[in-house]
Structure 1
Amino acid sequence: MGVTSPLKGHSSSHSLTTKLFPYSLYALYVLLPVALFRFCFHPFLSSTSPTHSSSSKGEVVQNGPFCNYNNGRWIHDKTGPLYNGTTCGTIKEGQNCISHGRPDSDYLYWRWKPRRCKLPRFDPYTFLTLLTNKHIAFLGDSMARNQLESLLCMLATVSKPNLVYTSGEDNKFRRWHFASHNVLVSVYWSPFLVQGVEKSKYGPNYNELYVDSVDERWAADLDHIDMIILSIGHWFLHPAVYYQSGSVLGCHHCKALNHTEIGFYGVTRKAIRMALKTIIERKGANDGNGIDVFLTTFSPSHFEGEWDKVGACSRTKPYRRGERRLEGMDAEMRAIEVEEMEVAKLNARGVKGRVRVEILDVTKLSLLRPDGHPGPYMYAFPFANGVYNRVQNDCVHWCLPGPIDTWNQIMLQVIKRWNVHSRRVVRLMP
C-alpha cells in the first residue's frame, strides 16, 4: 500500500460453532427473546458469565444479566490514572497536558460508573494476553490517534512499545510492537475512511471525497489485521465536494461552487457504510483469519464560543447529571454510527468467515467531560509570560491521561466478553 511494511507470518484462527443449552419452556419462550432483543438493539448489552472478575485471567466481572456501559455518571476517584505525562513517550505534545503545565489536576480523578454494572480498572496485562500474536489497527482521524496513544500509554505500564514503522507527514502512519506478547498496534491516518483528498494551503479550500471507494492505504492491509477500531467525524464538518460513480454528488459549505448543497450527515453515513461493507466482504470471504471491528462513536467538542474566536473550554469539573443533554449534531452523528453498526452486524452474520462488530458508544460519557480537553495547554506553558487576550484552545482532543482512557477501558470489557463466549463455544463442541 506504500505506507506499511510487509507483515509476514502473522495469523490467527477462530472456529466458532454455536449450540444452546436446553432451557425450560419459560426461559425459551420468554427470557431468551427478551435477551436477544436487548442484545441486538442496545449497545454493550450482553450476557455475562457467573464468574467474578479476575484481572490475571481476563474474566468478565459479574454484572447481572446485562451491562450498558453507555448509561452512567462520572464519580470522583482518588485512585487516579495508570500513567502520567512523563512516563509515556508516545503522547502527542498537544495532548500532554501535564508536561505543558496545566495547573489543575482534578480532571485526572474521575471514574465512569455505569448505572447497573461495574466497569473494572483497565488491566494492561489482560489486554496484551487476550491479543497475543494479533495486529490491532486504529483507522481514522486524530481522534483515532488520540485513542491509540491512550492505549499505548496504558499498555506501556507493563510492556515496552517499540516503534517499528513510521511514514507520512507528521508520522500519520505508525506501528508499534510489544515483544512480550507479540502484539502489533498501528495507526492509519484516514480521516474519511473512504478515498479522499484533503484540503491544503496550496490547493482548493475544501476536501474532496469519493464515497464509493475506500481508502486503500488501510484496506490493502486487511489480510494482516486482526482487530480494527474506526473513528471519524470532525473532518466531515469542513467544506467538501463529494463524488460518486464518477460525478459530483453534491457538496457541503461550498457557496463559491456551482454544486448542490447536501450537508455532511448523509455522506458520513455513506463513508461508514462503505468502510464496514469492505471489511466484512474482504475478511468474511473465507474461513481463514477472522476480524473484530469496533466503531468509536462521535466525540463531542466543548468550545464555549467560536473555536477560532477565543472559544475556550475552561471548566474544571464534569457536568452534573442533567446539566448537559445529548442533542443537535452530536446526537445526529452518534445516531448515524449506531444505525450503521446495527446494519453491519446483520451483514456480518451472512458471511463465511468470522467477523465480529461492535459499537464503542462513548458520545454520552464524553459529552459530560468538558474538563478533559487540553484547552490552552495544547501549547507548553501558554501563560508563562502573562495572560493574552487571544489564546487558541483545543476543546476537541483529550488530555492524556484523561477521559479518553475510559474508551479503551470499555473496549477491553467487550474483548473479555468475546473471549468468554469463544471458550464456551469450544467447550460445547463435540
Structure 2
Amino acid sequence: MAEAAKHIPISGGTLISDLKSLFPVLKTRRTVVLAYGFVFAFVAFTVFLAFSPSPNAASPWFVNIFSGSDSSSSNGSASDSYRSRFSPFFSQFLPNNSSPQQVRNFASPPPEQTSASRSSNDTFQSPNLAKEPSTVNNRTQSTEIPHKGKVPDTNQSVVVAPEAPAAANRRARLPKISAPNVNREPPSVKNQTSSSENSDKVTVVKANQSTIAAPIATVAPNQSASPTVKSGSSDTSNSEKEGKIVGGKDEMSNHTTSQSKKESNGTNSGVTQGKDSLVKSLMNCDLLDGEWVRDDSYPLYKPGSCPLIDEQFNCISNGRPDKDYQKMKWKPKRCSLPRLDGSILLNLLRGKRLVFVGDSLNRNMWESLVCILRNSVKDQTKVYEANGRHHFRGEASYSFVFKDYDCSIEFFVSPFLVQETETPDQHGSKKETLRLDLVGKSSHQYKGADFIVFNTGHWWTHEKTSKGKDYYQEGSHVYSELNVLEAFRKALTTWARWVDANINPSKSLVFFRGYSASHFSGGQWNSGGQCDQETRPIKNETYLRPYPPKMMVLERVLRGMKTHVTYLNITRMTDFRKDGHPSIYRKQSLSEEEKRSPLRFQDCSHWCLPGVPDAWNEVLFAELLIKQHQKQQQHN
C-alpha cells in the first residue's frame, strides 16, 4: 500500500494524465498494425503473380499498371483482358512513368492540344505485348484483328509494330525508334489513313485514323496475312521510307498515286500530260508563221564553245563585235516553239541516222545541230567525225558520231540533188553539165537513213544555171538553152521519183528545207553586194521579198509525190534576218585583193553560228516530236 502510494501524483490523478501515460503503448501498436497490413498486402500481391496464367502475361499486366492511358492495342480484346483496374489510381502518382518496352523520346504534343489529348499521346503502347500462342498453326483471333481493320478509340494514338516471327513462348519486341524519324501531326488533321512503312518501321496512327497493320515477317499456315494496304499501293515516298509521317489523307493518296504512276509508267504523269498538250498545240499550229523576239536565254550553246563550226560561219572568231543577233528566238503566232533540248533529241535519235543532203546552207544547218547536241553530252570526247576530219569543206560527205547514243548526224554534199558531170563538146574537149535525169551519186549511201533533210536552191541562181545555155542535160541530149525554172522542175521531179522508189516511209522520215533568203545590197554575192552594216532584223513586213518562184515549183512537185515529205518552209522567217549573215566576218585571213577592198567580198547568204540555223533545228525538233506523238497514237 505504501509502495503504491509512491506512484500516485501529489496533486491527485485525472483521466487525462492516465491516457498520456498509455500513449507510448498505443503508438507502438499502430506501427505494428501498419507493418502487418503491409506484409499482408505484399503476400497477396505475390500470390496473385504466382497464379497468373503464364510468365508472358506479366508483361502487359505491369505495363498497364504503370500506364496512364486507357488505350487499346491493335490486338484488340487480348490486350483489353490485361488492362489494369489500378491504372487510374497509379496515374495520379506516376503520370510520366513508362515501361522499359515503351517507345521513348517522342516529341511533345503541339501546344494547342488539351490536357486530355496530351495525356493520351504521351505514351505509345505496343500492340504485340500480349501473349503469343505457343504454336503458329493455331493463331488466336487477337493476332488477326489488325488485318481486319480495327479502329482505335478517338482520343488515342497507337503504334502499330511489325509482328515478330512466330516462336513458342517468345515475347514480341517493339522496334527501336528515334525522335527525328517521327513528326507529330496537329490534332486538327482528322480522318487520316496511316502511311505504310517498311517491315522494320512502325506506323503512327492519329485520332480517327484507320489502322494499317505493318507487313508480317513470316507467314505461317492458317495465318491471316493480308494487310490492309495492297501491294499495288504499298509503295511509299522517300520521306515515308525515312520514317516520316505524311500529313493528310489527300496528300498521302495523291503522293502514293503519283509515285506508283512514276514506277509503273517510268515517267511523271504531269510531265507526260504537259508534253502531250504541247505536241497537240504544235500540231494545230503553223510553226513557220511568226516573228523574231529577243530572248536573253539564247543562244543554245556558248559562242566559241564549239570547235566544229566552219571558219566561214564562225563570225565571233572572225572579229564580229556585235552579239545581239544571237539573242533572237523564233516565235510562231499561235503556239510556243519548244526550246531544243539536246538530251531529248539524242534519246529520240538513239540508234538512228539523221542525214542532211544538199548545199552549203544545209551544211550550215548540219553544223548547227552537231554543236547543239555536242553541247548537251557529258563526255564530248565521245562525239567525233567518223573519219577524223576537222574541216568540213571539200569532201563529199561527213558523219559525226555520238557514241553513247549509237547515232550519227551526217551531211552529204549535193547542191543540185541531181548529178554534176562532164560531157565532150564539138571540139573534143569536156564541158560541165547538169544531168537533170540522174539523182546525186551518193544517194545509195543515205537511202536507208531514219531521217533525211534535203535542200537545194542557191546554186540555181549562179550564172550557168540562171542562163541555162549548153548546161542542162537529159540522157545524151544537152539543151542549148533551157529556162532555169523548167530545169529546176525537171531536177526536182527526178529527185521525187527516186524518193518514191527508194525510201521506205515506214522506216524513214523525209523533210525538205526551203530556200534561205539572202540580203545582198548594191549587188550580188560576186558583184559587191553588202550587208555588213545590218545589226537588227527587219520589223516591217512590207520590206520582205516576194515568195521565190522556185519554191512554188517545189510545192507542186511535193504535192505529186506518193511519199509524204514535210516541207520546212523557212523562206519567210529567214527574210527578216538581214542581220544574221557573216558579211565581212567570213574568215580571218584575207587575200591582198580582199584587204584592198574588204567591203566588196561579203557573205550575205550563209549564216553566223550560233544564229539563224539554230532556229531551223528547233523547228525540225518540234516536227520530230509531232511525228513521234503520231506514231505512238497509231500504236495505241
- With the shorter chain as reference, the TM-score category is 0.7 to 0.9
Relative to structure 1, the CA distance from residue 302 to residue 223 in structure 2 (aligned partners, 3 Å threshold; closer, same or farther) is closer
Secondary structure, aligned partner of 2:518: coil
Q: What's the counterpart of residue 483 of structure 2?
A: 263
Task: Name the CA shift for 1:343/1:204 in 2 (closer, same or farther; >3 Å).
Answer: farther
Higher share of residues assigned helix: 2
Aligned to 1:32: none
Query: Residue 179 of structure 1 aligns with which residue?
Result: 403
1:336 to 553, 573, 598: 553
Q: 1:370 aligns with which of 545, 569, 578?
A: 578
| Structure-to-structure mapping, 1:65-214, within 5 angstroms | 66-159=284-377, 160=380, 161-165=383-387, 170-197=394-421, 207-214=432-439
Post-superposition Cα deviations, 1:162-210, rounded to whole Å, max 9, x if no partner, equal: 11137897234111111121111111111111111389xxx99985111
The secondary structure found in structure 2 opposite 1:84 is: coil
Give the letter aligned to residue 185 of structure 1. I
CA distance in structure 2 between the partners assigned to 1:134 and 1:204 by the alignment:
45
The equivalent residue for 2:539 is 320
Residue 340 of structure 1 and its aligned partner are, at CA, apart by 2.1
Q: Distance in 2 between matches of 1:198 and 1:155?
A: 39
Between the aligned partners of 2:287 and 2:430, the Cα distance in structure 1 is 40
Letter in 2 for 1:409: E
Aligned equivalent of 2:529: 311
Q: Quick one: distance in 2 between partners of 1:405 and 1:394?
A: 18
Q: Is the 8 A contact 2:448 2:503 kept in 1?
A: no
Query: Which residue of 2 is the match for residue 302 of structure 1?
Result: 519
Q: 1:154 to 1:71 in 2, by over 3 A?
A: same
User: By how many angstroms is 1:246 displaced?
Assistant: 2.0
Amino acid at match of 1:227: F
Mean Cα deviation higher: 272-281 or 407-416: 272-281
C-alpha contact (below 8 Å) 1:61/1:118 kept by paired residues: no
**Distance in 1 of aligned mates of 2:628 and 2:613:** 24
Q: Check 1:204–1:62 CA distance in 2 against 1; reply closer, same or farther (3 A cut).
A: farther
CA distance in structure 2 between the partners assigned to 1:53 and 1:89 by the alignment: 35
Q: Which moved more, 1:107-116 or 1:237-246?
A: 237-246
CA deviation after TM superposition for structure 1 residue 75, in Å: 1.1
**3-state SS of paired residue (2:405):** coil
Aligned match of 1:422: 631
SS of equivalent to 2:550? helix
Alignment correspondent of 1:283: 503
How far apart, CA to CA, are the structure 2 residues paired with 1:56 and 1:97?
A: 38
Alignment partners' CA distance in 1, 2:351 and 2:535 = 41
CA distance, structure 2, for counterparts of residue 198 and residue 363 of structure 1: 32
For 1:208, the aligned partner's letter is T
The answer to whether the 8 Å contact 2:580/2:612 transfers is yes
* More displaced 10-residue stretch of structure 1: 59-68 or 71-80: 59-68
Provide the secondary structure at the position in 2 that maps to 1:378: coil
2:473 to 243, 249, 272: 243
Structure number with the bigger relative contact order (C-alpha 8 A, sep ≥ 6) is 1
Question: Is residue 394 of structure 1 aligned with residue 612 of structure 2?
Answer: no
**One-letter identity of the residue aligned with 2:483:** G
| Counterpart secondary structure, 2:612 | coil
Shift of 1:216: 2.3
The reply on whether 1:360 has 2:562 as its aligned counterpart is: no
The structure with the largest alpha-carbon Rg is 2
State the alpha-carbon separation in 1 of the partners of residues 460 and 328 from structure 2: 31
Secondary structure in 2 matching 1:377: coil
CA distance in 1: counterparts of 2:536 and 2:432, whole angstroms: 36
- Please give the alpha-carbon distance, in whole angstroms, between the structure 2 residues aligned to 1:122 and 1:231: 21
Between the aligned residues of both structures, percent identity stands at 29
| Mean CA deviation greater in 124-133 or 332-341 | 332-341
The CA distance in 2 between the partners of 1:395 and 1:209, in whole Å, is 26
Secondary structure of the residue aligned to 1:170 is coil
Structure 2 spans left out of the alignment, 5+ residues: 1-268, 466-470
Q: In the alignment, residue 385 of structure 2 is paired with which amino acid?
A: L
Q: Residue 83 of structure 1: CA displacement?
A: 1.2
Task: Find the aligned partners of 2:538 and 2:281 in 1 and give their Cα distance.
Answer: 26
Shift of 1:130: 1.1
Q: 1:294, 1:166 → 2: CA distance?
A: 28
Structure-2 change in CA distance of 1:154 and 1:59 (3 Å) = farther
Deviations 1:343-398 (A, max 9, x none): 22xx12xxxxxxx4200110000011000000000022879xx9854431000100
1:234 deviates by 1.0
Distance 1:223 1:378, change over 3 A: closer
Matches of 1:137 and 1:343 in 2, distance apart? 23
Give 1:213 shift: 1.1
Is 1:53–1:60's contact at 8 Å kept on the other side of the alignment? Answer: no
C-alpha displacement at 1:266, in angstroms? 1.7
Partner of 2:30: none
Which residue of structure 2 aligns with residue 407 of structure 1? 616
Alignment-derived partner of residue 216 in structure 1: 441
The answer to whether the 8 Å contact 2:353/2:450 transfers is yes
Structure 1 gap segments, 5+ residues each = 1-50, 251-258, 349-355
1:270 deviates by 2.0
Mapped contact 1:124–1:158 kept (Cα < 8 A):
yes
- Is the CA contact (8 Å cut-off) linking 2:282 and 2:626 kept in structure 1? no
Name the CA distance, whole Å, in 1 between partners of 2:436 and 2:609: 33
- Name the CA distance, whole Å, in 2 between partners of 1:334 and 1:131: 29
Q: Give the CA deviation at 1:144.
A: 1.1
- Which amino acid in structure 2 is aligned with residue 290 of structure 1? K
Equivalent residue number for residue 7 of structure 1? none
Instruction: Answer whether contact 1:222 1:283 (CA < 8 A) is retained.
Output: no
**Whole-angstrom distance in 1 between the partners of 2:627 and 2:530:** 40
SS in 1 for 2:579: helix
What is the CA deviation profile of residues 120-139 of structure 1, one whole-angstrom value per residue up to 9, with x for unaligned ones?
A: 11111111111111111111
Q: 2 CA distance for matches of 1:52 and 1:300? A: 41
Report the residue type matching 1:78 in the other structure.
D
Length-normalised TM-score, structure 2: 0.51
